[in-house]
Structure 1
């Protein structure tokens, strides 16, 4: 282990001790953290960043809570995940005010990104589609979360920016990975190096967002899409995302072989049989989603503190059981 890895591990251990725990809200099917709320409904998991007074800036505790939410069994069994931000802005990136008070900024940033990146890796590995409602100011790590979505909905008046170079830092939250793939290298360089601020309509034209609506519409539209996807063939969605993600790294022959093998595998699922039968009968299919582990009453849903394990030390490879988005 390098000195940097050891420092990061120490910071993550300290963060484990300091952060709060989520508990179930007795009045609804949800788990409430201090900076994040998680709501479950009909196969849909809604993660809402809940620091509107700070424009949902990500500090150490919020990063931990996002990871904790992805570790809950009900989240892992979701048929669709929706991410949104409370208030007028989705997420402006890291909480710079909290960073300034740290005695060792490199260690602290390693801790924050360790939790956030582990959470993003888990979300990307899920077969369930990920929908993001990105309104208002979207910057830094917030931009990374917006780029992670399979469907990202925005609204007029919103802006997207990298913002890292403006404060003398390099990117995180997979922005250096996702931006070139979504926008192309030159446009990614324009945003990250030149600091170009992308308005909502142009974000759709460039391929960063799926669609844009009138002011105030992003969350309702994203939720409608997420609810529809939550009733779909989850296993087929996951395999489709995996094939799309891996296509750029393969030859045509390799992709064709994987398509054939994957099609045969997905054809064994109950949703495939239901989809074909419904099509032939000219009725709406009743998909049930991919087979998954039984959902147990985890600690959060019993009202007890949620265990928040540390993610791997910075530099270790994250295990990926599914697609890379």
Structure 2
């Protein structure tokens, strides 16, 4: 949850209603994890509303094909609201509550089982960096910067950063990044696989939305199954993974998306995966 000093602000938290923080258009569930207030720090209302919406996706009461995480200000997310930490009557209790709520959002991202796109514009520090590491597709620009930002305020990472970062960049590099509070440039993030694509500064939000909409218009159940295969691959042997892949592709072949996709290919037409939604 920690915040980068480079983007800290004394501005009052934004008072946007929860409805503006979670939207659903064209099959994309968009969650604003930060607002322009308090230096684009993690927004409590956005976290709570986002977790609730994602649980609805997991239960089947929301039918979406992709999740888009974004920030409403000039940055994606500068981490937790450190001024709120300082003002808490009981800091340990307050930080535990904030961390638990944040982790509910992270857990709900995985329970929803939908591809996650992040519009990583500007700073992604602390909790913001943690969320970028949970993306299936992360879009940034040349001005994007990632930073752990925890040790600068004497705290330890949350949001799963100590789990995701070593798996993304290797244990040695992850330790160096976190323990030196290294600022990661956009080029480094792209090279190390933390960002998927770099676009122009003003195009990050629109490019991320376009990716999310493209994913949402496709075979949603197949995408969810593919995401599951990718998520378990690190813990499986090759033979175990081959078994899972064979089972999955066989199952998909008998389901509406697989039938439509194969028939459309043979019929030389575009597949329509939206029928029946």
Q: TM-score normalised to the size of structure 2?
A: 0.87
- 1:131 pairs with 2:121: no
Residue number among 178, 190, 201 corresponding to 1:192 in the alignment? 178
What pairs with 1:148-159 in structure 2 (closer than 5 Å)?
Answer: 148-159=134-145
Runs of 4+, deviation exceeding 6 Å: none
Q: Could you tell me which residue of structure 2 aligns to residue 101 of structure 1?
A: 87
Q: Over aligned residue pairs, what C-alpha RMSD do you find?
A: 2.1
Aligned mates of 1:117, 1:238 — CA distance in 2 = 21
Residue 51 (structure 2) aligned to one of 67, 77, 93 = 67
Post-superposition shift, 1:278?
1.0
Aligned residue in 1 for 2:25: 41
> Is 1:216 matched with 2:207?
no
Distance apart, 1:66 and its partner CA: 2.8
Structure 2, unaligned runs of 5 or more? 1-15
Match of 1:318 in 2: none
Q: 1:131 to 1:200 in 2, by over 3 A?
A: same
Instruction: Name the CA shift for 1:262/1:133 in 2 (closer, same or farther; >3 Å).
Output: same
Secondary structure at 2:21 match in 1: strand
User: Could you say which structure has the greater relative contact order, defined with CA pairs below 8 angstroms and 6 or more residues apart?
Assistant: 1
Deviation at 1:60, TM superposition (A): 4.2
CA distance in structure 2 between the aligned counterparts of 1:263 and 1:148, rounded to whole angstroms:
25
Q: Which one has a larger percent helix, Structure 1 or Structure 2?
A: 2
The CA distance in 1 between the partners of 2:169 and 2:146, in whole Å, is 13
- Tell me: CA distance 1:290–1:261, structure 2 relative to 1, closer, same or farther (3 Å): farther
- Name the stretch that deviates more: 70-79 or 110-119: 70-79
Please list every run of 5 or more consecutive structure 1 residues that lacks an aligned counterpart in the other structure.
1-21, 23-31, 292-325
Pick closer, same or farther for the CA change 1:229–1:223 going to 2, 3 Å. same
| Aligned counterparts of 1:290 and 1:155: Cα–Cα separation in 2 | 37
Contact 1:133 1:219 in 2 (8 A): yes
Partner Cα distance (1:39, 1:220) in 2: 15
Is the counterpart of residue 269 in structure 1 residue 260 in structure 2?
no
1:289-309 CA-partner distances (Å, limit 9, x unpaired)? 898xxxxxxxxxxxxxxxxxx
Contact kept, 8 Å, 1:162 with 1:195, in 2: the verdict is yes
The match for 1:237 among 217, 223, 230 is: 223
Kindly indicate whether residue 246 of structure 2 is the aligned counterpart of residue 252 of structure 1. Answer: no
Aligned twin of 2:193: 207
